[in-house]
Structure 1
Amino acid sequence: MEEKLRFRLATEKDLEQIVSLLADDLLGSQRERYEIPLPTSYIKAFEAITADPNNELVVADNGNEEVIGVLQITFTPYLTHQGGWRATIEGVRTSNSVRGKGVGSELIKFAIQRAKERGCHLVQLTTDKQRQDALRFYERLGFQATHEGMKLKL
Protein backbone atom coordinates (compact mmCIF):
# COMPACT_ATOMS: atom_id res chain seq x y z
CA MET A 1 0.00 0.00 0.00
CA GLU A 2 1.09 3.55 -0.66
CA GLU A 3 2.85 5.19 2.31
CA LYS A 4 1.36 8.64 1.69
CA LEU A 5 -2.14 7.39 0.91
CA ARG A 6 -4.86 9.79 2.04
CA PHE A 7 -8.60 10.03 1.53
CA ARG A 8 -10.45 13.28 0.99
CA LEU A 9 -13.49 14.75 -0.68
CA ALA A 10 -12.93 15.35 -4.36
CA THR A 11 -12.50 18.84 -5.70
CA GLU A 12 -13.30 20.08 -9.17
CA LYS A 13 -9.61 20.01 -10.05
CA ASP A 14 -9.70 16.21 -9.48
CA LEU A 15 -12.48 15.70 -12.00
CA GLU A 16 -10.34 14.97 -15.07
CA GLN A 17 -8.36 12.33 -13.17
CA ILE A 18 -11.58 10.79 -11.81
CA VAL A 19 -13.17 10.47 -15.25
CA SER A 20 -9.92 9.00 -16.57
CA LEU A 21 -10.09 6.30 -13.87
CA LEU A 22 -13.76 5.58 -14.61
CA ALA A 23 -13.00 5.15 -18.32
CA ASP A 24 -9.90 3.00 -17.83
CA ASP A 25 -11.35 -0.50 -18.07
CA LEU A 26 -13.33 -2.60 -20.52
CA LEU A 27 -16.78 -1.66 -19.22
CA GLY A 28 -15.93 1.95 -18.43
CA SER A 29 -14.43 2.56 -21.84
CA GLN A 30 -17.80 1.66 -23.38
CA ARG A 31 -19.84 4.13 -21.33
CA GLU A 32 -17.55 7.01 -20.31
CA ARG A 33 -16.21 9.87 -22.45
CA TYR A 34 -12.77 10.85 -21.27
CA GLU A 35 -11.74 13.82 -23.38
CA ILE A 36 -10.32 17.22 -22.60
CA PRO A 37 -12.18 19.41 -22.10
CA LEU A 38 -14.52 17.09 -20.25
CA PRO A 39 -18.10 16.92 -21.45
CA THR A 40 -20.22 19.32 -19.40
CA SER A 41 -22.34 16.40 -18.15
CA TYR A 42 -19.49 15.42 -15.81
CA ILE A 43 -19.17 18.95 -14.46
CA LYS A 44 -22.91 19.19 -13.83
CA ALA A 45 -22.93 15.79 -12.10
CA PHE A 46 -19.96 16.79 -9.95
CA GLU A 47 -21.72 20.00 -8.93
CA ALA A 48 -24.90 18.10 -8.02
CA ILE A 49 -22.97 15.51 -5.99
CA THR A 50 -20.95 18.06 -4.06
CA ALA A 51 -24.04 20.22 -3.38
CA ASP A 52 -25.90 17.28 -1.83
CA PRO A 53 -25.05 16.69 1.86
CA ASN A 54 -26.02 13.02 1.44
CA ASN A 55 -23.41 12.39 -1.24
CA GLU A 56 -19.65 12.22 -0.94
CA LEU A 57 -17.25 11.80 -3.82
CA VAL A 58 -14.10 10.47 -2.17
CA VAL A 59 -10.68 10.21 -3.75
CA ALA A 60 -7.54 8.44 -2.66
CA ASP A 61 -4.42 10.37 -3.50
CA ASN A 62 -0.76 9.61 -3.14
CA GLY A 63 0.12 12.79 -1.30
CA ASN A 64 1.06 14.56 -4.53
CA GLU A 65 -2.50 15.37 -5.63
CA GLU A 66 -2.50 12.39 -8.00
CA VAL A 67 -5.87 10.66 -7.76
CA ILE A 68 -5.25 6.91 -7.53
CA GLY A 69 -8.72 5.84 -6.40
CA VAL A 70 -12.29 7.06 -6.29
CA LEU A 71 -15.72 6.11 -5.03
CA GLN A 72 -19.03 7.75 -4.34
CA ILE A 73 -21.02 7.22 -1.15
CA THR A 74 -24.71 8.06 -1.02
CA PHE A 75 -26.45 8.17 2.35
CA THR A 76 -30.14 7.34 2.13
CA PRO A 77 -32.86 7.36 4.81
CA TYR A 78 -35.35 4.49 4.69
CA LEU A 79 -38.60 3.75 6.45
CA THR A 80 -37.56 0.11 6.61
CA HIS A 81 -35.32 -1.00 9.45
CA GLN A 82 -37.17 1.39 11.74
CA GLY A 83 -36.25 4.46 9.78
CA GLY A 84 -32.58 3.53 9.42
CA TRP A 85 -30.00 4.98 7.07
CA ARG A 86 -28.01 3.08 4.44
CA ALA A 87 -24.84 3.92 2.61
CA THR A 88 -24.49 2.94 -1.03
CA ILE A 89 -21.02 2.73 -2.53
CA GLU A 90 -20.78 3.33 -6.28
CA GLY A 91 -18.20 4.03 -8.96
CA VAL A 92 -15.25 2.36 -7.24
CA ARG A 93 -12.04 2.52 -9.24
CA THR A 94 -8.34 2.38 -8.53
CA SER A 95 -5.52 3.23 -10.85
CA ASN A 96 -3.88 0.31 -12.65
CA SER A 97 -0.59 1.47 -11.14
CA VAL A 98 -1.74 0.62 -7.59
CA ARG A 99 -4.02 -2.34 -8.20
CA GLY A 100 -3.23 -5.19 -5.82
CA LYS A 101 -1.40 -2.89 -3.38
CA GLY A 102 -4.23 -2.42 -0.87
CA VAL A 103 -5.49 0.98 -2.04
CA GLY A 104 -8.92 -0.37 -2.98
CA SER A 105 -9.29 -2.17 0.36
CA GLU A 106 -8.36 0.94 2.29
CA LEU A 107 -10.73 3.04 0.20
CA ILE A 108 -13.65 0.71 0.94
CA LYS A 109 -12.73 0.60 4.64
CA PHE A 110 -12.77 4.40 4.63
CA ALA A 111 -16.26 4.38 3.10
CA ILE A 112 -17.47 1.89 5.71
CA GLN A 113 -16.11 4.12 8.46
CA ARG A 114 -17.90 7.14 6.95
CA ALA A 115 -21.14 5.11 6.95
CA LYS A 116 -20.66 4.30 10.63
CA GLU A 117 -19.98 7.96 11.41
CA ARG A 118 -23.23 8.90 9.64
CA GLY A 119 -25.21 6.34 11.69
CA CYS A 120 -25.90 3.92 8.85
CA HIS A 121 -26.98 0.39 9.73
CA LEU A 122 -26.02 -1.06 6.34
CA VAL A 123 -23.53 -0.54 3.54
CA GLN A 124 -24.57 -1.78 0.13
CA LEU A 125 -23.03 -1.86 -3.30
CA THR A 126 -23.44 -3.53 -6.63
CA THR A 127 -20.87 -4.81 -9.04
CA ASP A 128 -21.36 -5.82 -12.64
CA LYS A 129 -21.63 -9.59 -13.01
CA GLN A 130 -18.84 -9.39 -15.59
CA ARG A 131 -16.46 -8.13 -12.89
CA GLN A 132 -15.64 -11.45 -11.23
CA ASP A 133 -12.43 -10.09 -9.68
CA ALA A 134 -14.42 -7.24 -8.12
CA LEU A 135 -16.96 -9.70 -6.73
CA ARG A 136 -14.19 -11.69 -5.03
CA PHE A 137 -12.61 -8.45 -3.77
CA TYR A 138 -15.83 -7.33 -2.07
CA GLU A 139 -16.42 -10.78 -0.60
CA ARG A 140 -12.93 -10.69 0.96
CA LEU A 141 -13.95 -7.41 2.62
CA GLY A 142 -17.01 -9.06 4.18
CA PHE A 143 -19.74 -8.16 1.69
CA GLN A 144 -22.26 -10.89 0.96
CA ALA A 145 -24.49 -11.35 -2.08
CA THR A 146 -27.70 -11.59 -0.04
CA HIS A 147 -30.04 -10.01 -2.60
CA GLU A 148 -30.58 -10.19 -6.32
CA GLY A 149 -30.15 -6.74 -7.85
CA MET A 150 -32.09 -5.59 -10.89
CA LYS A 151 -31.80 -2.57 -13.16
CA LEU A 152 -33.91 -1.01 -15.87
CA LYS A 153 -32.00 1.12 -18.36
CA LEU A 154 -33.85 4.26 -19.43
Structure 2
Amino acid sequence: MTDLMFRYATRSDLPAIVALLADDEKGKTREQLTDPLPECYYRAFDHMESVSSDTLPNKYLLAICDAEIVGCLQLTLIPGLSRQGRLRAQIEGVRVSSHHRGKKIGEALILRAIDISRDLGASLVQFTTDKSRKDAHRFYERLGFVASHEGMKRDI
Protein backbone atom coordinates (compact mmCIF):
# COMPACT_ATOMS: atom_id res chain seq x y z
CA MET A 1 0.00 0.00 0.00
CA THR A 2 1.78 3.09 -1.18
CA ASP A 3 -0.58 5.58 0.46
CA LEU A 4 -0.27 4.10 3.96
CA MET A 5 0.97 6.52 6.62
CA PHE A 6 1.80 6.03 10.30
CA ARG A 7 1.45 8.27 13.31
CA TYR A 8 0.96 8.01 17.04
CA ALA A 9 -2.59 8.25 18.34
CA THR A 10 -4.10 11.27 20.00
CA ARG A 11 -6.95 11.30 22.49
CA SER A 12 -9.40 12.14 19.71
CA ASP A 13 -8.50 8.85 17.97
CA LEU A 14 -9.84 6.72 20.82
CA PRO A 15 -13.26 5.93 19.29
CA ALA A 16 -11.57 4.64 16.13
CA ILE A 17 -9.02 2.62 18.13
CA VAL A 18 -11.68 1.02 20.31
CA ALA A 19 -13.70 0.26 17.17
CA LEU A 20 -10.67 -1.58 15.77
CA LEU A 21 -10.14 -3.44 19.04
CA ALA A 22 -13.80 -4.50 19.03
CA ASP A 23 -13.70 -5.51 15.33
CA ASP A 24 -12.42 -8.95 16.23
CA GLU A 25 -13.76 -12.24 17.65
CA LYS A 26 -11.97 -11.80 20.98
CA GLY A 27 -12.28 -8.02 21.08
CA LYS A 28 -16.03 -7.86 20.62
CA THR A 29 -16.43 -9.62 23.99
CA ARG A 30 -13.75 -7.53 25.72
CA GLU A 31 -14.43 -3.98 24.55
CA GLN A 32 -17.33 -1.61 25.10
CA LEU A 33 -17.89 0.35 21.92
CA THR A 34 -20.56 2.91 22.80
CA ASP A 35 -21.17 6.55 22.04
CA PRO A 36 -19.97 8.24 24.08
CA LEU A 37 -17.00 6.00 24.73
CA PRO A 38 -16.67 4.90 28.37
CA GLU A 39 -14.39 7.12 30.44
CA CYS A 40 -12.12 4.14 31.26
CA TYR A 41 -10.58 4.35 27.77
CA TYR A 42 -9.73 8.03 28.21
CA ARG A 43 -8.21 7.37 31.66
CA ALA A 44 -6.09 4.55 30.25
CA PHE A 45 -4.93 6.69 27.32
CA ASP A 46 -4.06 9.59 29.63
CA HIS A 47 -2.07 7.23 31.86
CA MET A 48 -0.19 5.84 28.86
CA GLU A 49 0.64 9.37 27.76
CA SER A 50 1.83 10.31 31.25
CA VAL A 51 4.40 7.51 31.39
CA SER A 52 5.45 7.78 27.75
CA SER A 53 8.46 9.68 26.45
CA ASP A 54 10.18 10.15 23.10
CA THR A 55 12.79 7.53 24.00
CA LEU A 56 10.52 5.12 25.92
CA PRO A 57 7.15 5.28 24.21
CA ASN A 58 3.97 3.66 25.49
CA LYS A 59 1.77 4.71 22.60
CA TYR A 60 -0.69 3.49 20.03
CA LEU A 61 0.78 3.48 16.54
CA LEU A 62 -1.83 4.00 13.84
CA ALA A 63 -1.91 3.01 10.19
CA ILE A 64 -3.76 5.63 8.14
CA CYS A 65 -5.05 5.15 4.60
CA ASP A 66 -7.01 7.88 2.82
CA ALA A 67 -7.45 9.75 6.13
CA GLU A 68 -9.01 6.64 7.74
CA ILE A 69 -7.49 4.77 10.68
CA VAL A 70 -7.22 1.24 9.30
CA GLY A 71 -4.88 -0.39 11.81
CA CYS A 72 -3.33 0.04 15.22
CA LEU A 73 -1.01 -1.48 17.77
CA GLN A 74 0.31 -0.51 21.17
CA LEU A 75 4.09 -0.10 21.24
CA THR A 76 5.87 0.04 24.60
CA LEU A 77 9.62 0.13 25.10
CA ILE A 78 10.71 -1.52 28.31
CA PRO A 79 14.12 -1.08 29.94
CA GLY A 80 15.32 -4.00 32.01
CA LEU A 81 18.31 -5.83 33.42
CA SER A 82 17.87 -9.24 31.80
CA ARG A 83 19.80 -10.06 28.65
CA GLN A 84 22.54 -7.67 29.75
CA GLY A 85 20.25 -4.70 30.05
CA ARG A 86 18.77 -4.96 26.59
CA LEU A 87 15.92 -2.63 25.80
CA ARG A 88 12.90 -4.55 24.57
CA ALA A 89 9.81 -3.56 22.66
CA GLN A 90 6.41 -4.94 23.61
CA ILE A 91 3.66 -4.98 20.98
CA GLU A 92 0.03 -5.42 22.02
CA GLY A 93 -3.44 -4.86 20.62
CA VAL A 94 -2.59 -5.37 16.95
CA ARG A 95 -5.67 -4.84 14.83
CA VAL A 96 -6.49 -4.15 11.20
CA SER A 97 -9.98 -3.16 10.13
CA SER A 98 -11.93 -6.15 8.84
CA HIS A 99 -12.66 -4.09 5.70
CA HIS A 100 -8.93 -3.69 5.00
CA ARG A 101 -7.48 -7.11 5.86
CA GLY A 102 -5.44 -8.89 3.24
CA LYS A 103 -3.80 -5.67 2.01
CA LYS A 104 -0.52 -6.09 3.97
CA ILE A 105 -1.47 -3.28 6.38
CA GLY A 106 -0.71 -5.47 9.40
CA GLU A 107 2.68 -6.37 7.99
CA ALA A 108 3.53 -2.73 7.30
CA LEU A 109 2.36 -1.74 10.80
CA ILE A 110 4.48 -4.42 12.52
CA LEU A 111 7.53 -3.57 10.40
CA ARG A 112 7.11 0.14 11.21
CA ALA A 113 6.93 -0.70 14.94
CA ILE A 114 10.11 -2.77 14.58
CA ASP A 115 11.88 0.10 12.80
CA ILE A 116 10.83 2.57 15.52
CA SER A 117 11.96 0.15 18.22
CA ARG A 118 15.33 -0.45 16.57
CA ASP A 119 15.85 3.29 16.05
CA LEU A 120 15.22 3.85 19.78
CA GLY A 121 17.76 1.20 20.76
CA ALA A 122 15.64 -1.90 21.33
CA SER A 123 17.20 -5.19 20.34
CA LEU A 124 14.24 -7.49 20.97
CA VAL A 125 10.56 -7.29 20.01
CA GLN A 126 8.05 -9.40 21.91
CA PHE A 127 4.31 -9.82 22.11
CA THR A 128 1.66 -12.27 23.12
CA THR A 129 -1.04 -13.65 20.90
CA ASP A 130 -3.98 -15.79 21.93
CA LYS A 131 -3.41 -19.50 21.33
CA SER A 132 -6.64 -19.72 19.35
CA ARG A 133 -5.47 -17.19 16.74
CA LYS A 134 -3.89 -19.66 14.30
CA ASP A 135 -3.98 -17.22 11.35
CA ALA A 136 -2.18 -14.63 13.47
CA HIS A 137 0.48 -17.19 14.42
CA ARG A 138 1.19 -17.90 10.75
CA PHE A 139 1.28 -14.16 10.05
CA TYR A 140 3.85 -13.48 12.80
CA GLU A 141 5.97 -16.50 11.83
CA ARG A 142 6.04 -15.20 8.24
CA LEU A 143 7.48 -11.95 9.63
CA GLY A 144 10.28 -13.85 11.37
CA PHE A 145 8.87 -14.18 14.88
CA VAL A 146 9.50 -17.41 16.76
CA ALA A 147 7.19 -18.91 19.40
CA SER A 148 10.10 -19.30 21.81
CA HIS A 149 8.22 -18.90 25.11
CA GLU A 150 4.97 -19.98 26.68
CA GLY A 151 3.06 -16.92 27.87
CA MET A 152 0.77 -16.86 30.86
CA LYS A 153 -1.77 -14.34 32.13
CA ARG A 154 -3.88 -14.00 35.22
CA ASP A 155 -6.75 -11.61 35.81
CA ILE A 156 -6.46 -9.90 39.19
Instruction: Tell me which interval the TM-score lies in, with the shorter structure as reference length.
Output: over 0.9
- What is the letter of the counterpart of residue 138 of structure 2? R
Aligned-residue sequence identity (percent) comes to 50
Task: Give the corresponding residue for 1:33.
Answer: 32
Task: Give the corresponding residue for 2:123.
Answer: 121
Task: Give the corresponding residue for 1:88.
Answer: 90
Task: Give the corresponding residue for 1:131.
Answer: 133
- What is the letter of the counterpart of residue 32 of structure 2? R
Is the Cα contact below 8 Å between 1:50 and 1:57 reproduced in 2? no
Task: Give the corresponding residue for 1:18.
Answer: 17
Tell me how far apart the structure 1 counterparts of residues 103 and 81 of structure 2 sit (CA, whole Å). Answer: 39
Structure-2-length-normalised TM-score: 0.94
Task: Give the corresponding residue for 1:56.
Answer: 59
Tell me how far apart the structure 2 counterparts of residues 93 and 126 of structure 1 sit (CA, whole Å). Answer: 13
Is the Cα contact below 8 Å between 1:5 and 1:60 reproduced in 2? yes
Task: Give the corresponding residue for 2:104.
Answer: 102
- What is the letter of the counterpart of residue 34 of structure 2? E
Which structure 2 residue ranges, 5 or more long, are not aligned? none
Structure-1-length-normalised TM-score: 0.95
SS of the residue aligned with 1:16?
helix
Shift of 1:140: 0.4
Shift of 1:49: 1.4
Tell me how far apart the structure 2 counterparts of residues 48 and 118 of structure 1 sit (CA, whole Å). Answer: 21
SS of the residue aligned with 2:99?
helix
- What is the letter of the counterpart of residue 99 of structure 2? S
Tell me how far apart the structure 1 counterparts of residues 35 and 62 of structure 2 sit (CA, whole Å). Answer: 20
Tell me how far apart the structure 1 counterparts of residues 85 and 128 of structure 2 sit (CA, whole Å). Answer: 22
Task: Give the corresponding residue for 2:45.
Answer: 46
- What is the letter of the counterpart of residue 106 of structure 1? A
Aligned length: 152
Which structure 1 residue ranges, 5 or more long, are not aligned? none
List 4+ stretches of structure 1 deviating above 3 A. none
- What is the letter of the counterpart of residue 152 of structure 1? R
Aligned CA RMSD, in angstroms, stands at 0.9
- What is the letter of the counterpart of residue 60 of structure 2? L
